[in-house]
Structure 1
Amino acid sequence: MFARHSLVWLSPQGWQSCQNSSRDSVAPSSHAALERWQQADWPAIVRRVDADVDAEAAEHLVCLGIALPPDPLTGHKVRIALRAPVAEVRQIRGPLAIDAVIAAAPAHWRDALQMLATQVARHDLAFGVYGSVALQALTGASYVSASSDVDLLFSPKTQAQLEAGVALLLRYAKTLPLDGEILFPSGWAVAWKEWAQSNENRPRLLVKSNRGVQLTTMAMLLASFVTPEHTACMH
C-alpha cells in the first residue's frame, strides 16, 4: 500500500484516468490545472484511501491529491482529490529531504533548516518534508505564506531514534514553525506536537493511517518498535 505523503509520478494514461474519474466532481478550471500539472511532470501526493474503496480495490487503486498555489488575495488553496490505477504509477518516492527544500524556503528559515538537516544526518534519522514548503520546492510556484508551517514526516526505526528526533523537533521549533507527524513502524502516524505533550494524564492519542483515523495509546505505538526476535522471546 502506498504511504501517505509519498510522491507519485503518473504515466499519461494515469493522468487520463484521473481526469476521467474526477470529471463530474472537479471544476473546469481545476481540470485545466491538472493538465498543466501533467505537462510539467509534477508528482501527485498520496492521501488516505477513500472510504468507498475496499481493501481489495485498494490493491489496484491509489488515492492521490494535488494542492494548487493559494490565492494571493484570500489565501484559499484548492485541493483536488484524484484516483489512479496502481499500474499507471511510473515512480514513487518518499517526501523530499530537508536539504532539497532549503533553497526554495524563505530566506529567514534557511540557516535553521540547514542546521536541522545537519543534525538529522548526524543522528542518522529519517525526516522528510511535505506541505507548502515541499510544493514550492517541487513546482517553483508560490505556496509559502507568513502563516505557513514546515511540515515534517519523521520515521524513527527505534525508540532511541524517536527520542533523539523529538528532541531535535522541540529544539528547532523555537526558531522554525515546525509541524508534521511521527510515522511509527506500524504505519500509524501521530502529530509530533501531540506526542511531545503526551503523558499518563493524556493516555490516548489521535493517529492516522492510510485507511483511517482512530485513538490509540502511547504503549501501542511504542510496541511497534519491538522486533520479531524480541516478540518470539516474549512467548
Structure 2
Amino acid sequence: MNAPLPARRHHLITLESTAWDQVLADLEPASHAYQCLRRWHAKGWPLVVSRQPGELSSGQLQVGIPLPTDWGRQRLSLIIPHALSLTWGGFPPAHEAQTLLPVFLAQDWLSLCQQLQAQGCKAQIYGSYGWELITGQGYVREGSDLDLMLPVQSATQADLLVKVLNEAGDIKGLPRLDGELLFPNDDAIAWREWQQWRSGASSKVMIKRTDGLRIQAHSDWSEHTSTLESSHAT
C-alpha cells in the first residue's frame, strides 16, 4: 500500500476492502445508507476528504460521499481509519467539464481553461459537475453552479485569476462560476469573497481549512496576504 498523503479538504481517496468492511459492519443492512455504500464500493468510486472535526482521534479521517439524484441526493459522512485508505487523486481537470456543457459553449469553456492555465493555475472541477464526471451519474441540474478548484501560490496570482473569472461571466449561457482559491498553507477562500475582500467591499472573509474555519478581518488582510506570499517562498 502506498503511504497516504497528508489529508486535506477535496482530496479523493479509495478504501481498502478491510476499511469498507468496517464501515458497512456499523450499518443496518436494510438501511438506505448501507445499500448506497455497497453500490459505491462496488463501483470503486472515491470518497472526498471533508473538514475534520476536532474531536476525531489520531488515525481517523472524516470523509463524505455525495449521492447522485437517482440515489436520493444526500451527503453521507463517514469516519474511517486513515491507515486503511489509499490516495486516489484529485478531481478532474477543468477542461473535462466541456463534455457536460452545451456544444455551443465548448470553445468558450476551453478558452477560459487556457486563460487560467496561462496564469499558472491547473484548475479542477468539483461539486455537481465534478462528481458527474467521476461517476457518470446524474448530479448536474438546471441552475447548478460550476465549481472550480483553483490552486494558487500567491495573492497576486489569485487576483489575476479572479479577473479572468469575472470576465468569463459575460459568456452567454455559461453556468454560474463558483469555487475556491486554494493556497499552499491550506487556506481556502471562495473566489467571489476574495474579490470583495481585496477590493475593500467586504470587511471580513471566511477562510476554510481542513481543520476548521476562521474569519479574517479586512484590517488584517495586508498582513495575511503577506503571510501567504512568504509561505510559498519557503
TM-score (normalizing by structure 1): 0.84
Tell me how far apart the structure 2 counterparts of residues 33 and 106 of structure 1 sit (CA, whole Å): 30
- Shift of residue 133, structure 1, vs aligned partner: 0.2
How many angstroms apart in 1 are the aligned matches of 2:91 and 2:189? 17
Q: CA RMSD in A?
A: 2.5
Q: More displaced, 150-159 or 131-140?
A: 150-159
Which of 147, 160, 174 is equivalent to 2:156? 160
- Can you list the C-alpha shifts for 1:165-209, whole angstroms capped at 9, x where unaligned? 111111123333101111222212111111112233533211111
Using the TM superposition, give the Cα deviation of residue 50 of structure 1 relative to its aligned residue in structure 2, in angstroms: 2.4
Cα shift at 1:71:
5.2
5+ residue gaps, structure 2, are 1-5
Deviation at 1:6, TM superposition (A): 1.5
- Per the TM alignment, residue 13 of structure 1 is displaced from its structure 2 partner at its CA by 1.4
Q: Which residue of 2 aligns with 1:65?
A: 64
Q: d(CA) in 1 for partners of 2:32 and 2:232? A: 54
Q: Does 1:209 align with 2:212?
A: no
Instruction: Give the aligned residue type for 1:185.
Output: P
Q: In the TM superposition, what is the alpha-carbon distance from 1:220 to its structure 2 partner?
A: 4.6
Task: Percent identity, please.
Answer: 26
**Do 1:66 and 1:79's aligned partners in 2 also have CA atoms closer than 8 Å?**
yes
The code of the aligned residue for 2:200 comes to: E
Out of 112, 125, 128, the residue aligned to residue 129 of structure 1 is 125
Ranges in structure 1 where 5+ consecutive residues have no aligned partner: none
Query: How many residues get paired?
Result: 222
- The question of 1:32 aligning with 2:31 is answered no
Distance change >3 Å, CA 51–CA 70, structure 1 → 2: farther
Cα drift, residue 27 of structure 1: 7.9
Following superposition, the deviation at residue 213 of structure 1 comes to 1.4
What are the superposed Cα offsets for residues 73-92 of structure 1, whole Å, 9 maximum, x if unpaired?
A: xxx62110012212212223
Higher mean displacement: 176-185 or 199-208: 199-208
- Which position in structure 2 is the counterpart of 1:49? 52
Aligned to 1:82: 78
Q: CA deviation at 1:108?
A: 5.2
Equivalents in 1 of 2:232, 2:138: separation in Å? 48
- Cα offset, 1:137, TM superposition: 0.4
Are 1:184 and 1:221, in contact at CA under 8 Å, matched by a contact in 2? Answer: no
Counterparts of 1:79-158 in structure 2, within 5 Å, are: 79-107=75-103, 109-158=105-154
Query: Structure 1's 174 and 220: CA in aligned 2 closer, same or farther, altered over 3 A?
Result: farther
Counterpart amino acid of residue 112 in structure 2 = L
Deviations 1:106-125 (A, max 9, x none): 54543332122111222221
Letter in 1 for 2:84: E
Q: Counterparts of 1:51 and 1:30 in 2: how far apart (Å)? A: 25
Residues 33 and 110 (structure 1 numbering): CA distance in 2 closer, same or farther, change over 3 Å? farther
For residue 3 of structure 1, the aligned residue among 3, 8, 20 is 8
SS at match of 2:228: coil
Q: Hey, what does 1:17 align to over in structure 2?
A: 22
Supply the distance in 1 between the matched residues of 2:44 and 2:123 (Cα, whole angstroms). Answer: 24
Amino acid at match of 1:141: Q
Q: 1:108 to 1:46 in 2, by over 3 A?
A: farther
